[in-house]
Every structure is written in structure tokens, then in C-alpha cells.
Amino acid sequence: MFSAQLKITFREKQAWFWGIFFPVILMVIFMVIFTGSSDNEFSAKVAIVDENPNVISEMMLNQINQIPILEVETKEPVSREKAEILVKDQEVAAAIVLPESENDTSILLVVNKENERGVTSQALSGMLDQLIQHANLAAVGATPTYQLQFKSISSGNAELSYTDFLLTGMIALAIAQGGMFGMVDLVEMRRKGLIKRLRMTPANMTLFGLSDMVMRLLFSVIQIVLLSLIGVFIFGAKLYINFPSLLIVFLLGALSFNALGYFFSSFSKTSEAYMGVANITSFLMMFLSGVFFPVETMPEWIQPVSHVLPLTYFVEGLRDSMVYSTSIFSGSLWFGIGVMVLWGVVTFMIGSWLYKRKSIVATR
């Protein structure tokens, strides 16, 4: 059965596109979008407005010029009208309007309405707020006593970056989608009457489904190798792999999602119905399983949903074994593996039962 499934797949040119090339295209698109500037040093272009220079505005301007991450669009201050035009045209991230007199106690930050809640606007607001606090202390002659120090640590290598985080998430997503979408050929076989003919033979439908799942596993092997090479050599990702952990997580995770696809095929009467169910499931898990950002950053009310989805544990398992080099004896690793296997076993058994319970006459 495995040999037959393999030959059928190799004859289908579309299977190669959807199983190999589409995941590569998808990963490259998302990697370009999400890591385009994530590893670069933060900087922001600003315009300075100082229409009535005075002692206060001069002091503020000197302090602003000492902030290395602020890039002043023009060397000299511009008019308020010119600054607002630059902000509207998004040529600068914001405009900073300095106090117009020594008695003026405010600094105005002008940002584009579309970027009001953006990271850059929030960062600029925080920096100016800190600048004003220092100015207030200096005005009353107080000396700052406390200061904030910042240090980041990782459970893995100190050189880890968001690119490494995203790469493993995209690999897990590609393998999961390959399993969920890959069993559509079973629906086509039913539509063409091949399942009916097969059931009239001594063939075991459980073994038939299992052989298709194992064959799909070969595509997953190609996917993880190819996507890892692209991530490392094109996007500069750094992987610290624990091979025993990776082998266990990969094999059981890939088979579990193949079982999920087998389950979808057991009750879908048409290819369109199958793809609809697979698309909804894939879309749901794509954004709720920690592929693009940690589950802990999601709203608390939605996190319980994430903790039920199998892709959450597949992403964490691949990330632990490929980025954090987690040992195979880790309890949290095996808990995630257990959840994935439970999903795989339950969906495969239900799918097999649905295939068996239908009478041969009812099977086209």
C-alpha cells in the first residue's frame, strides 16, 4: 500500500507544488514581512519645530540631538506647517514642537493618525516623557536617585533572535498544513469510485490510511530540511538543534497532522468541502498557536483555546528542539508530545471508523 501511494503521489505534479514549493513560498513571504527590520537597531526620523528659540527650547534641542536613535530629517528646525506636511506625507515618524517661550511648560509631539498606536509613536512618546521628567528634576534642583537598568536573557543561546523564533514557527506551520491539506486525494478517490472498488478487496482501510500518512511523512522530511536551509542561509537564522528531541517531535507531530487530514477526508464528500474544513482549521491555528508571537502575549481569555490546539505544542516542540536545544528528557517537551499524539490517535481512529461504517453501496 505504501509503495502504491508513493507511486500515485510521484505521478501527481501538483502534489509536488503544494507539498514542497508552496510551503517555501509561504515561509519566504512571512519571513520577509515579519523579520524585515526586527533585527536592526531601532531608529526614527523626526522633524524639530523651534519657531521662537529661547533658553528652554535650546536646552531641549541639545538633549534631543544627543539621543542616538533619533534621526532629525533636516539639520535645522522647520516651521510648524512644514513639519505637519512631513508627518502627513509620512516622510518622518513624528514632529517635536519645542516650547515657544521660557514660560511654556509643554512639548508637543505630532504623529500621523494612522500610526498613532504604532510602536514608533509609542517609543517616541516614552522617550519624550523621560526627557521631560529629567527637565522637571533639573528645574527644582533635584538629583535623580534611582535609574532603570535593562538586561535580556534567554533559555537558549544568547545570540537568538526573532528570526530564529519565526523560522521554527513557520516550519511547524508548513508541516501541519502539509498534513491537513495532503489527504485531499482520498476525497478524489472516493469521488471517482476508487474507494468503493478498494473496499471490495481484502484491503484494510486502516492500513490504507496509515500508508498514505507515512508517505506524506516523506514530504515533511523534505520540508523541514529545505525550510531550515533557507532560513539559515538566506535569512541568517541560527539553530541549536538537539537531534533526539527533534526526531521525536518531528515524527510524532507530522503523523498527528496527517491523521487530522485523514479525519477531514473521512467525512468530506467533495474536494471543496475538504479544503474548506482544512482552511478554517489552518487559519484558526495559524494565529492562535504561537507561530508569529508567543502565546503568552495574547489576551488571557483566548489563551485557553491556544493551549488546546495541537499546533501550539508542535510549534513549541520544534522551537525547543531546534532553537533552545531542549533535552529529550524534558517533562514539558513530553507533555506537548503527549497532547499532539492524543490528537493524532483520536482523529485517526475516528477517521478509520467513519470509513468503515459507510456501506460499500453508499461509497461512490
User: Residue 345, CB half-sphere, CA atoms under 13 Å: how many?
Assistant: 6
Q: In the chain, where do the E strands start and end?
A: 44-49, 70-72, 94-97, 108-111
Are the C-beta atoms of residues 338 and 254 closer than 8 Å to each other? no
Sequence letter at residue 67:
I
> Which residues constitute the domain of residue 116?
44-139
Residue 151 placed within a domain: no
Phi-psi region at 325: left, alpha or beta (left = phi > 0; alpha = psi -120 to 50): left
Residues 252 and 119 in one domain: no
Residues 14 and 98 in one domain: no
Q: Could you give the strand order of the β-sheet that contains 94-97, starting from the edge strand earlier in sequence?
A: 70-72, 44-49, 94-97, 108-111
Residues 266 and 168 in one domain: yes
pTM assigned to the model:
0.69
Residue 7 placed within a domain: yes
Residue-wise pLDDT tens digits, 206-253: 787 778 777 778 878 888 888 888 888 888 888 888 999 999 999 999
Cα(71)–Cα(93) distance, rounded to whole angstroms? 10
CB proximity list for 274: less than 8 A, separation 6 or greater = 183, 184, 187, 264, 265, 268
Residues 193 and 331 in one domain: yes
Residues 93 and 6 in one domain: no
**pLDDT band at 78, cuts 50/70/90?**
confident
Residue 363 placed within a domain: no
Cα(176)–Cα(166) distance, rounded to whole angstroms? 15
Cα(259)–Cα(318) distance, rounded to whole angstroms? 19
For residue 50, the domain's CATH number is 3.40.190
Residues 202 and 106 in one domain: no
Most confident segment among 2-11, 151-160, 195-204, 320-329: 320-329
Residue 226 placed within a domain: yes
Are the C-beta atoms of residues 44 and 123 closer than 8 Å to each other? yes
DSSP string, 135-176: HHHHHTT-------------SS-TT--HHHHHHHHHHHHHHH
φ and ψ of 142, to 5 deg: -90, 150
Residues 202 and 332 in one domain: yes
Residues 21 and 78 in one domain: no
Q: What is residue 145's predicted lDDT score, i.e. its pLDDT?
A: 65
- Three-state DSSP at 129 gives helix
Residues 181 and 250 in one domain: yes
Residues 129 and 200 in one domain: no
Cα(167)–Cα(26) distance, rounded to whole angstroms? 12
Instruction: State what percent of residues in the chain have pLDDT above 90.
Output: 13
Residue-wise pLDDT tens digits, 123-148: 778 877 877 777 777 666 666 666 65
Residues 203 and 302 in one domain: yes
Q: What is residue 39's predicted lDDT score, i.e. its pLDDT?
A: 47
For β-strands 108-111 and 70-72, DSSP reports them as: unpaired
Q: CB count, 10 Å around CB of 146? A: 4
Residue 150 placed within a domain: no
Q: End of a domain among 139, 172, 197? A: 139
**pLDDT band at 77, cuts 50/70/90?**
confident
φ and ψ of 128, to 5 deg: -65, -35
Are the C-beta atoms of residues 245 and 332 closer than 8 Å to each other? no
Tally of domains in the chain: 2
Q: What is residue 149's predicted lDDT score, i.e. its pLDDT?
A: 59
Cα(89)–Cα(223) distance, rounded to whole angstroms? 43
